[in-house]
Homo-oligomer: A and B are copies of this chain.
Amino acid sequence: MRKALIAAFLLLAATVGAHAYDVKEIGSYFIGGHIQTLSGMPEETVYFYPGAPPTAYNPNGDVHTGQMYVHFVRLAQPRGKVPVILVHGGGLSGTGWESTPDGRPGWQQFFLAAGFDVIVPDQVERGRSNWSRYPQIFTSAPLFRTAQEAWTLFRIGTTYETDPAKRVSWTGGQFPVANYDDFVASFNARWTTTDAIAQAAFDQMVDRECPCVLIAHSAGSGFAIRAALRAPDKIRALVGLEPSAAPNPTTIDIAKLKSIPTLFVWGDHLGDYPDWQKIVVNPYKFQDGMTAQGAKMDVVHLPERGITGNTHMMMLDKNSDQVAGVVRDWLVQQGLAQ
C-alpha cells in the first residue's frame, strides 16, 4: 500500500511538474463601444467569391463600434496577488505578447509561468477588436506602418532593404532579424482619431479586471497612464517599456500617481537615433516628476545592467525572457507575488 501510494504520488507530482501552469479558464470578451445605426448608403450587388451568383447587399443598419477585445488566461492557483495586463504599442495588437517572431514563448507565457493571471487586450480598432467604417464612423483614413519605418523607429538597425540579405542591423543587436518579416506580418492599420473611444474601452477593462499591474509598451503607455490617473487606487504597479507616450508631468495631475510603484525600462542605442532623443524628452520629465514628488519611481536602462542590444521591441528580442525577468523581479520586490 505504502509503495503504491508513493508511486502514485510521484506519478502525480511528475504530471503536475510537466507543464508550465495549471489553467482554470482561457477566454475573451468585448468591452466598451456601442451600437451605431448607419443609413443613406446605396444598396449594392456583390459577388461573395469569383463566379458567385449576385447577392443584394444593404450596408445600412446597426453595427457595433468602439469595442475592445480582451483575452484572459486565469490560473487555477495564481501566486501573483493581482493580474498582469499586457498593453501593446502603436500599430500593433496583443499578438506580440503571445509568441516571438522566431517562435519562442512570449511574455504572456512568462508571466503565467511566474504565477500571474494574464490579460491581453487589443486596442480599439486593432486586431480582434475590429475596426469601423470610415468616413462613416471613424472620421479619418487609417495609416499603415511600413517595414522600412519600423526597422529604424524600433531601433533594429540602420538600413532596411526589401532583400533581407541587404538589411543592416546592430552588431550584438537582440532582435531576431531572420524573422523580421514575420514581425511585419503583425502590423495593424491604425487611426489617429480614435484615442478617446480607445481610452473609454480601456478604462472599462480596468474597472472590470483591476486591481492589477499594468505593463505597457510604447504608445500603450498613454492609455495606461491615463487609466491610472482616472483610477489610481486600482493600479498596484505601473511598468512602462520604453513608454514613449508618457506625458510631460506639467500637463497632468501627477500627484494622483504618487502611490503607484512605477518602473520604466529602456533598451539600447537610444543615443544613436535623433528621433529617439526627441521621443524620450517627455518620458524622462515624467520620471523626474514622479521622483520629485517622492513616488516609488524606478528606471532601468538595460545597458547599465550589462544587458545590451535591446531594441524598442524588447518583448520580442532574443533575450526577451531576460528582460521579462527584470520586470518580474521588480514586481516581486513590490510584494505583488507570493
Q: Which residues of A does B touch, CB under 8 Å?
A: 1-2, 5-6, 8-9, 12-13, 15-16, 18-30, 33, 35, 37-38, 46-50, 52, 57-64, 67, 69, 71, 73, 75-77, 90, 93-95, 98-99, 103, 105-106, 108-109, 112, 122, 127-128, 130-131, 133, 143-144, 146-149, 160, 162, 181-182, 184-189, 192-193, 195
Pick from B77, B187, B193: contact of A64, CB under 8 Å: B187
Q: Which residues in B have their C-beta under 8 angstroms from that of A108?
A: 26-27
Is B62's CB under 8 angstroms from A26's CB? no
Q: How far is the CA of A162 from the CA of B188 in the complex (A)?
A: 31
State whether A26 touches B98 (Cβ < 8 A): yes
Partner of A182, one of B30, B38, B61: B30
Q: Do A133 and B143 have beta carbons less than 8 Å apart? A: no
Q: Is the CB of B24 within 8 A of A18?
A: yes
Residue among A52, A146, A189 with most chain B CB within 10 A: A146
Return the 8 tightest CB-CB contacts between A and B, nearest first: A61-B146, A19-B76, A27-B99, A30-B185, A62-B147, A67-B185, A19-B22, A64-B185
Task: Judge whether A99 and B29 touch: CB under 8 Å.
Answer: yes
CB < 8 Å neighbour of A35 from B1, B122, B181:
B181
A338 to chain B, nearest CB (A): 15
Which residue of the partner chain, among B5, B13, B128, B144, contacts A95 with CB atoms under 8 Å?
B128
Contact flag A185-B33 (CB < 8 Å), given A5-B6, A50-B195, A143-B59: yes
Residue contact B62 to A184, C-beta cutoff 8 Å: yes
Contact of A184 (CB < 8 Å), options: B50, B63, B131: B63
Q: Which residue of B lies closest to A44 (CB)?
A: B143
Residues on B with C-beta less than 8 A from A60 are 146
Q: B9 and A18: CB pair below 8 A?
A: no
Question: Which residues on B sit within 8 Å (CB–CB) of A148?
Answer: 61-62
B30 touches A20 (CB 8 A): no
Residues on B with beta carbons closer than 8 Å to the beta carbon of A146:
38, 58-63
Contact with A22, one of B16, B63, B127, B131 (Cβ below 8 angstroms): B16
Bound complex: CA A308 to CA B17 (Å)? 43
Is B130's CB under 8 angstroms from A186's CB? yes
Residue of B nearest to A38 (CB): B146
Residues from chain B with Cβ under 8 Å of A24 in the complex: 18-20
Give Cα A61–Cα B27 distance, bound, in whole angstroms: 37
Given contacts A19-B23, A30-B185, A35-B184, 15 further A-B contacts (CB under 8 A): A2-B5, A16-B16, A18-B76, A25-B105, A38-B146, A46-B143, A49-B195, A58-B146, A58-B149, A61-B147, A62-B146, A62-B162, A63-B187, A127-B130, A130-B185
